[in-house]
Amino acid sequence: MATLRVDASLDNLDRLIAFCEEEAAAAGMSPGMIGRLALAVEEAFVNICSYAYPQGGGFAELRSTATADGLEIEMADAGAPFDLLSLPDPDTSLSIDQRQAGGLGVHFIRHFSDRADYRREGGQNLLRMLFRYQPEKG
Amino acid sequence: MELTSKTIDAVTVISLQGRVDAFTAPACEIGLKERLTDGAALVLDLGGLEYISSAGLRVILAVAKVLKSTSGKLVMANVTGTVREVFEISGFGSIFTMYDSVDEAVAALP
């Protein structure tokens, strides 16, 4: 397992994405698959930066594990208990006027990962996402 | 993230290059809004865009709302690859008309 812990600040987005892209490339994933993984990781990180620590400060940690099924990425924070996956998907059929800006992040996580789950453990929020090495057939 | 703009036949064409993510989105929004005029016809050329996250989509939606309030028009050109997938799954693919080239987009605007 490889881990990177950074302050939960958007200044660190580049570093976090570069780290998970390196891990994905080392696991043999294609550029297209890596781009999809980066999108899901960004949304998870932005959520931590925006909501986990209302008082500011705090960290986000990315844990990357190459498994038989694919690359498993776990995003951890020690902020307020919150299950991002409990949010509904936004209504993507609305017009420009009705459309609100929020809610797409969790939609991206569900779409671009092959599996996602949440648990609260040891005072941390743990969002685990699996990215298969190859697109699923069919 | 880089932003370049030009005018073709009274249509403003803005090209986005690189990555529009949560960190670069605020600068992108400022850059786009600086180039908006009331009632403008705008083509966003995304051919050089490698990556756009939901933060980038928010910027495009904000620009679209500003333009709509002044009876302007916004269309997309060269939306391909993962950027296109992001548009499709978020519903932006049906909100915005997407053209295969800047020329086609410019020709389609009044």
The pLDDT tens digits for B17-29 are 999 999 999 999 9
Give the up-direction half-sphere exposure of residue A50: CA atoms within 13 A in the CB hemisphere. 13
Contact status of A115 with chain B (Cβ, < 8 Å): no
Tokens 């005018």 -> residue: B7
Rounded alpha-carbon distances, angstroms, from residue B42 to B7, B9, B32, B108: 9, 11, 10, 11
3-class secondary structure, A29:
coil
Which 91-110 residues of chain A touch chain B by CB within 8 A? 91-97, 99, 101, 104-105, 107-108
Q: Are B18 and B37 in contact (CB under 8 A)?
A: no
Q: Say which amino acid occupies A76.
A: A
Which 17-76 residues of chain A touch chain B by CB within 8 A? 17, 32, 35-36, 38-39, 42-43, 45-46, 49
**Taking CB atoms and an 8 Å limit, are B23 and A39 in contact across chains?**
no
**B69-90: average pLDDT:** 96
Going from N- to C-terminal start, the domains of chain A cover 2-132
Partner residue opposite A93 with nearest CB, options B55, B68, B91: B91
Give the up-direction half-sphere exposure of residue B52: CA atoms within 13 A in the CB hemisphere. 29
- Give the tens place of pLDDT for each residue, A31-81: 999 999 999 999 999 999 999 999 989 999 999 999 999 999 999 999 999
Q: What is the pLDDT of residue A137?
A: 56
Domain covering A2-132 in this structure, CATH number: 3.30.565.10
Residues β-bridged to residue B76: B44, B98
Which residues of chain A make contact with B53, given a CB cutoff of 8 A?
Answer: 39, 42-43, 46, 108
Q: What is the pLDDT of residue A138?
A: 44
Q: What is the pLDDT of residue A97?
A: 86
Please give the domain boundaries of chain B with CATH numbers for all domains.
Answer: 2-108 (3.30.750.24)
Q: Are B40 and B72 in contact (CB under 8 A)?
A: yes
Q: What is the pLDDT of residue B42?
A: 97
- Give the tens place of pLDDT for each residue, A71-117: 999 999 999 999 999 999 899 899 888 887 778 999 999 999 999 99
**Hey, how many other C-beta atoms are within 10 angstroms of the C-beta on A11?**
10
